[in-house]
Chains A and B, each alone.
Chain A
Amino acid sequence: MNSLNDEPKVEAITVVLLEDDAPTLWRLQDALTKAGCQVRAAGTLAEARACLAQGAPRVLLTDLQLPDGHGVDLIRETRRRFPDTEIMVISILGDEESVISAITVGATGYLLKDAFPTDIAATVRDLVAGHSPISASIARFIVRRTQNTPEPPPGPALNTAKLTPREIDILWGIAKGFSYAEIASHLGLSRQTVPGHIKNIYRKLEVHTRGEAVFEAVQQGLIKL
């Protein structure tokens, strides 16, 4: 999103694409295939699971509202089965409702459905390179949750307790529309480290499995064994 990667592709990126709206599916598939990705397209959760059964893709692109269920379940499953797969949610509006709920189950990026074909390919490549896209409104939503308010604002639940002050500063910068370079210079960071921070933020917002939750509770002294 923030940088256009024009380097020649070394290895074809395998993508599983799940989108129930046929025109949109064709459109995304076209854009990715033209960019040299190997796309396995699916229109339902069942088809997507069948695609995933063939092996771990490099990237999973999924819509959330599907005829036979919700994309969140697929993201959770994929995250568990293929930890190395990058997961991206396809959103119409790029709103926090869909993006945050996907992030909390393990997605590390989002793609707007009406994005231009070049942007679609660039976003996927960036994600594979370790650059998670984040929008100003998503950043804004996250930092608002870090502020103590008597009642949680509406929207999906989000635990921001693990975010460091620096990460929150970065989110503020993104929310205000600053570029990575501007954020880096404001915070005295190297420009290259900002995408890594964002990926970390996504990872920290992910709600882990029950076992991990217990482990964390013990670590934080919430449970005594």
Chain B
Amino acid sequence: MNDHDEDATAGQLSGHERRRLQTSRLVQYFLLQAVIAGACVLALLQSLPGPPAQYQVTAFKLSEAGVERAVTLPYFSPLRNAMNDPPRFTGQFVRPAGEASQAWSVFLQRFTNGVEVTVNDVVILDSRRDPAANRPDRNTPQIAVIPASVLHDGENTISIRLFIWGPITGFLDRIWVGPDELLRPSYDLRTLIFVTLPVVFSSWQAILAVILGIMWVMRRHEPAYGVLAAAMAVGVGQAFLQTPMGGATPLSKLNVVLISSAPIESALVVTFTLLFAGWKWQGYGWILFVPGTLLALAGLFGNQALVRALFLVLAVPMVGISLVIMAVVTARSTLQRPNVAGLLLGCAVTIMLTCWIADLLSVFQMTPNRIFVSRLSYSVMLVAIGAGLTWRFARALNQVDGFAGRLVTQVREAEEKLKASFAREEERARAAALARERTRLMRDLHDGLGGQLVSIVALSERGNGSAGIGEAARAALKDLRLVIDSMDDIGGDLMLALGSWRERAMAQLRPHDIALDWRAGTAQGLPVHPELRPWHVIQIVRLLDEAVTNAVKHANARRITVRIETLAGSDGLARGCITVEDDGKGFEIMPDGAAAGAIKAARGLRNMRSRAARCGAELELSSCAQGDHQGTRVRLTLPHRFPDSDGAAG
């Protein structure tokens, strides 16, 4: 995720800015690597604490290749192979009287390749029996308790034979002879660092091999993991196999091949690094495996000496070259796409490279000691790989979580949209069904009842004295039109229903010579009520019809004024208001709201009230029988929201 973001950011920058950013990253990266290398060097310069100096035996008489001379330890032998006539160091040490109760030991902190220690002509230690000690790349210390019977107070003789079998020259570091309890802490420390820790790391390597192997099996499209798993497996084989001594069997040859597989291991790790950095495998990639293959062939068909000789010229440089390639590749990939895994790998490579150079200097005797740290520093690489893997895994998990979270949100949003759309669809379907029903009803009425009513009107006009019938038929037609009209979808805009009502009212008033004064305040007229239903419309229109009919029949009016307004109510909500006013003779309204006088008019008023109540509207009636303001006024204030159900039905 971050990688892509970085790329996107980089993509938006201008070329110049991008170069500057790259340079700054490059400088930062190299400064960090320099600091790490410097810290490494400082750490390597620290010598491990040794036992008390008083027990150190330094002066020896060396008998090497038939020549005898006095030497002080540490001693670098020029020989690469001395098995039959090994260099022999002979020295003296004093055990003070009265210390017989204490166990004394000989402590050798470092030697290549093997030692045989003799005290007073009794052999007390042969390191060749210890496989770990036979590996020149490990800095295995040795300690041996001198049997009490061999030791005696005063001067004792110690003699050491140094066996050398290559591939590097022989070396014997300082030795101590003294009370075991004083020597052992130093020995334990060295064993911990140079023997136990590598075993721990090798176990870790084995676990990594398994994890990476599984990873590769599950994700075949990422061969980098498979290559790294192979590298780890080769490394584990190397660590736990023993250096073959002597006898040549087919199995021992395989053993030789495996134990000298460092170049193959480094080639695999380099391949991993390249693949990890996004490199595609090319045919010439096999070049990386040439040194390892040569060494393996030498192991299968040659002898151990050849393998050892070749190891020095093939394996050691191969490891160095691999480290340099890895350093360059990780640096490049980390600079291009900064990521934690790449950075960790880069730092590990820097540490390993520093240690490899230190080892090389040590081999060429340019340092006063011979501690090999390359193999140990490889553990840093293992830690980096483990950390990088875990980091990637955690990040992938986070991404999955984020993805899942996004998915949940999206699904919820989609669900809500779907619900809303479903509700809309339902509403639309309802409206469509109503419209279809209306169309059907309209056709039916048109073909049947409507035509018959028209005929009645026509017939009544021809005959005499049947004006009442004609009027009734006309009223029936008018009501029919109202019913059909009110079923039409007017989208909650009552003005659309009033528009048709105005036409019908004008047609009704024209023969009576009554003027209809229509006063709609604004172009909008009334608020829109999405909850408006056909039955609301019918109630309101019939109420208005009643008002107009009253004005025509009972008030003897000349002019009817319809006023349509939108008023801001006391609660701040806009409410529609329709007023029907006439200039007729008016009537007295009784305290109970009913009209005095005609029973018919009273019933009309009661009807109007009932219709208003059903729609949740307020009806206000005022009438004045005398004076300038003679006439009747019906004022209908619409609710802010029309009721869903016919609350005051009946």
Residues of A within 8 A of B (CB): 1, 21, 23-24, 26-27, 65, 92-95, 97-98, 112-116, 118-119, 135-137, 139-141, 144, 150-151, 153-155, 173-179, 182, 186
Compute how far the CA of A150 lies from the CA of B427 in the bound complex, rounded to whole angstroms. Answer: 13
Closest 5 CB pairs of A and B: A177-B499, A136-B499, A23-B458, A92-B450, A177-B502
Give chain B residues whose Cβ lies under 8 Å from the Cβ of A1. Answer: 503
Least distance between A54 CB and chain B CB atoms (Å): 26
Min C-beta distance of B238 to chain A, whole Å = 73
A-B contact pairs, 27 of them (CB 8 A): A21-B454, A26-B458, A26-B462, A27-B461, A92-B445, A93-B442, A93-B480, A95-B446, A97-B443, A98-B446, A113-B454, A113-B458, A114-B453, A114-B458, A119-B510, A137-B485, A137-B488, A140-B496, A141-B488, A153-B432, A153-B489, A154-B435, A155-B439, A175-B499, A176-B499, A177-B520, A179-B518
B321: CB under 8 A from chain A?
no
| A176 adjacent to B484 (CB under 8 Å) | no
Q: Is the CB of B462 within 8 A of A151?
A: no
Cβ–Cβ contact B501 & A177, under 8 A: yes
Q: Which residues of B contact A115 (CB under 8 A)?
A: 507
Contacts of A178 in B (CB 8 A): 499, 518, 520, 523
Q: Report B310-324 CB contacts with A as 1/0, cut-off 8 Å.
A: 000000000000000
Q: Provided the pairs A114-B457, A177-B518 are in contact, do residues A23 and B462 lie with their beta carbons within 8 angstroms?
A: yes
What distance in Å separates the Cβ of A67 from its nearest Cβ neighbour in chain B?
A: 13
Interface residues in B, total, Cβ within 8 A: 46
Given contacts A92-B450, A114-B474, A116-B511, contact A177 B435 (CB under 8 A): no
B500 at the interface (CB under 8 A from A): yes
Q: Give which listed residue, B447, B503, B523, contacts A136 with CB less than 8 A.
A: B503
Tell me whether B510 and A118 are in contact (CB under 8 A).
yes
A23, B510: Cβ atoms under 8 Å?
no
Return B420 CB to nearest CB of chain A, in Å: 15
Q: Are A92 and B446 in contact (CB under 8 A)?
A: yes
B338 contacts chain A at the CB level, 8 A cutoff: no
Which of A95, A112, A153 contacts B484 (CB under 8 A)?
A95
Do residues A95 and B442 form an inter-chain contact, with CB atoms below 8 A? yes
Q: Are A177 and B495 in contact (CB under 8 A)?
A: yes
B481 within 8 Å of A (CB atoms):
yes
B478-511 interface with A by 8 A CB criterion: 480-481, 484-485, 488-490, 493, 495-496, 498-503, 507, 510-511
Task: Tell whether, in the assembled complex, residue B455 and residue A173 are in contact, meaning their CB atoms are under 8 Å apart.
Answer: no
* A117 nearest CB neighbor, chain B only: B461
CB within 8 A of B458: which of A27, A153, A154? A27
Residue of B nearest to A156 (CB): B439
Q: Which of A27, A136, A153 contacts B435 (CB 8 A)?
A: A153
**B525 part of interface (Cβ distance < 8 Å):** yes
Q: How far is the CB of B491 from chain A (nearest CB, A)?
A: 8
Picked from A23, A94, A175, A186, the residue with its CB within 8 Å of the CB of B481 is A94
Interface-central residue, B436, B446, B458, B484, by most chain A CB under 10 Å: B458
Interface residues of B (CB under 8 A from A): 428, 432, 435-436, 439, 442-443, 445-447, 450-451, 453-455, 457-459, 461-462, 473-474, 477, 480-481, 484-485, 488-490, 493, 495-496, 498-503, 507, 510-511, 518, 520, 523, 525
Report the bound CA distance from A149 to B442 in whole Å. Answer: 23
Minimal Cβ-Cβ distance residue in A for B450: A92
CA distance A97 to B496 in the complex (A): 18
Known A114-B477, A176-B496; further 12 A-B contacts with Cβ < 8 A: A21-B454, A24-B455, A65-B446, A93-B445, A93-B450, A113-B458, A116-B511, A119-B510, A136-B496, A154-B439, A176-B525, A177-B499
When chains A and B are docked, how far (Å) is the Cα of A177 from the Cα of B525?
10
List the A residue with the shortest CB-CB distance to B455: A23
| Complex alpha-carbon distance, A65 and B446, angstroms | 10
A175 to B455, CA, bound (A): 29
Q: Using CB atoms, name the residue of chain A closest to B500.
A: A136
> How distant is the Cα of A140 from the Cα of B432 in the complex, in angstroms?
16
Bound CA span A139–B502, Å: 14
Report chain B residues within 8 Å CB of A182: 518, 520
Q: Evaluate contact between A154 and B436: CB separation under 8 angstroms.
A: yes
CB pair B496 A175 closer than 8 Å: yes
